[in-house]
Amino acid sequence: MTKIIGLTGGIGSGKTTIANFFREMGIPVYIADDEAKKVMQSEEIINQIKISFGESLFDNNVLNRAKLAEIVFNDAEKLEKLNSIVHPAVKKDFQLWLSQNKNHEFVIYEAAILFESGKYKEIDYIVTVTAPEEIRIERVMKRDNATREQVLSRMKMQWNDEKRISLSNFVINNSNLKIAREEVVKILKILNIKQKQS
């Protein structure tokens, strides 16, 4: 039976970098945010977003993601509404992907809101990626061309590291790539031993 490793961490912690380390080691990786973007292009989801958030978010039937992000990251209720539209579709997509990768001992499910969405309850092991807050803020400002205020308001919508770590099996501090990569190797060794014992 394939074991699911949940990979999570706050915005700007460098989850994707860590996911790529796992991928290099032969572990299939499912990036929930990327798949959600694809799912959101389906007609069914577009229609549900139009009903809930209005037509003004669309230019020629193309969703203006920046506008939508601005709305949901400043309103917890609206974020919950969007998640209730997108999450079931991503869940279905992940199940299909999982069935295509069932010959692997482990797969990675990478998601920023693994805990907030409740998805962590369906995961075998959880790895939380951390990094100092200032580094995270700088990374996101650079990556998303966002202001400090925008980054901080997104951070407020997510769990803090302490809360995540308390429910995690492993923690990777991602301030130094070489050390972070060594941590990934170590985690896989531990998990392989556990698999052999079970």
Residues 106-115 have a mean pLDDT of: 95
Q: Which domain holds residue 180?
A: 3-197
CA dist., res. 98 & res. 109, Å (int) = 10
DSSP 27: -
Domain count, the chain: 1
117 is in an annotated binding site: no
pLDDT digits over 16-74, tens only?
999 999 999 999 999 999 999 999 989 999 999 999 999 999 988 889 988 998 899 88
pLDDT digits over 6-16, tens only?
999 999 999 99
119 is in an annotated binding site: no
15 is in an annotated binding site: yes
8 is in an annotated binding site: no
Q: What is the CATH number of the domain that holds 37?
A: 3.40.50.300
Please determine, for residue 194, whether its predicted confidence score (pLDDT) is greater than 90.
no
130 is in an annotated binding site: no
Angle at 98 between CA 31 and CA 34, to 5 degrees: 20
Q: Which residues contact 63 (CB under 8 A, 6 or more apart)?
A: 40, 41, 46, 49, 57
Output the average pLDDT for the chain. Answer: 93
Q: Closest Cα to residue 168, out of 31, 2, 12, 15?
A: 15
13 is in an annotated binding site: yes
Q: What is the pLDDT of residue 74?
A: 84
